[in-house]
Chain A
Amino acid sequence: GENVEQHPSTLSVQEGDSAVIKCTYSDSASNYFPWYKQELGKRPQLIIDIRSNVGEKKDQRIAVTLNKTAKHFSLHITETQPEDSAVYFCAASKGLISNFGNEKLTFGTGTRLTIIP
C-alpha cells in the first residue's frame, strides 16, 4: 500500500518568516495530495490540495508544490503568523476515479509548527 513520510516532525519559525514541510510518497499511481491543518483539540481541516496534473498551487500565503518524478510534495507558508501554529498533515490517494478500493487517504505523521512571536 501507499506510504507517506513527512518531515520535519517539529518546526519552529520566527513570525514573518517562511515555513516549509515536505512529504514523500511511495505509490506512483497516487494522484491527489491534500494538506490538513489541525489546531490543538480540534478536528483536521483541509487547507489546500493539489492534483497530479498540476505542479504548483497557491492560495494567499499558502502554496503546495508537487514533483511527480521524485514523488514528493511540499507545503510552503509565507509571512507566518501566530495563528499558523498547528499540526499539519500531508496525505496521498489514488482517488480521482470512482473505483472501489482506490478511495483511501494515507496520511503522513504530522508536523507541529510553532510560530515564535
Chain B
Amino acid sequence: NAGVTQTPKFQVLKTGQSMTLQCAQDMNHEYMSWYRQDPGMGLRLIHYSVGAGITDQGEVPNGYNVSRSTTEDFPLRLLSAAPSQTSVYFCASRRRTGKETQYFGPGTRLLVL
C-alpha cells in the first residue's frame, strides 16, 4: 500500500491564482481530512469527509473548497489564493470506526506571493 499520497510537494502561487491540492489513499478509509500547519499553531482542520459525497467544514474552512466523489480521493481547492494561505497542508485518513489511527500524507508546502 502507498498509504496517503499528496501532490504536489511544493507550490508557489501568486495572489489570486487558483489551484487544487491532490490527496489519495489506498486503504479504503472512509474518513479523510485536510489540515494546515503553521508555526506555533499546531494542526488546524480545514475540511473533512466521512465518505463519498459527504463533506463538512472544520475549524478554518474559509477560502477552501473540497469534494469527495470517490472513497480514494479528497482534493482541496483554493479558489483565489491569498498570502495568508501560505502554509504546509497535510491530508489524513483513517477508518471511521474501530481503531482510529490517523495516517497523514507527506504534506504540500504552499507559498503564496
Q: Which residues of B lie under 8 Å from residue A106 when comparing CB positions? A: 45, 59
Selected contact of A107 from candidates B42, B50, B56, B96, CB within 8 Å: B42
Q: Is the C-beta of B97 less than 8 angstroms from some C-beta in chain A?
A: yes
B43 and A89 contacting across the interface, CB-CB below 8 Å: yes
B104 and A43 contacting across the interface, CB-CB below 8 Å: yes
* A44 to B90 Cα, complex, angstroms: 9
Q: Is the C-beta of A117 less than 8 angstroms from some C-beta in chain B?
A: no
Selected contact of A96 from candidates B42, B43, B58, B100, CB within 8 Å: B100
* A104 to B34 Cα, complex, angstroms: 11
User: In which size bucket is the chain A interface?
Assistant: 20 to 34
Q: Is the C-beta of B54 less than 8 angstroms from some C-beta in chain A?
A: yes
Number of A-B contacts (CB under 8 A): 57
Q: Tell me how many residues of B have a C-beta within 8 Å of chain A.
A: 26
A43-B105, A103-B48, A104-B58 in contact; A109/B100 too (CB < 8 A)?
A: no
Beta-carbon contacts of A41-75 to B below 8 Å, as 1s and 0s? 01111100100000000000000000000000000
Q: Which residues of B lie under 8 Å from residue A98 when comparing CB positions? A: 96-97
Q: Is the C-beta of B40 less than 8 angstroms from some C-beta in chain A?
A: yes
Q: Which residues of A lie under 8 Å from residue B106 when comparing CB positions? A: 42-43
* A45 to B101 Cα, complex, angstroms: 9
The minimal Cβ–Cβ distance linking A88 to chain B, given in whole angstroms, is: 11
Q: Which residues of B are interface residues toward A (Cβ below 8 A)?
A: 31, 33, 35, 40-45, 48, 50, 54, 56, 58-59, 90, 96-97, 100-107
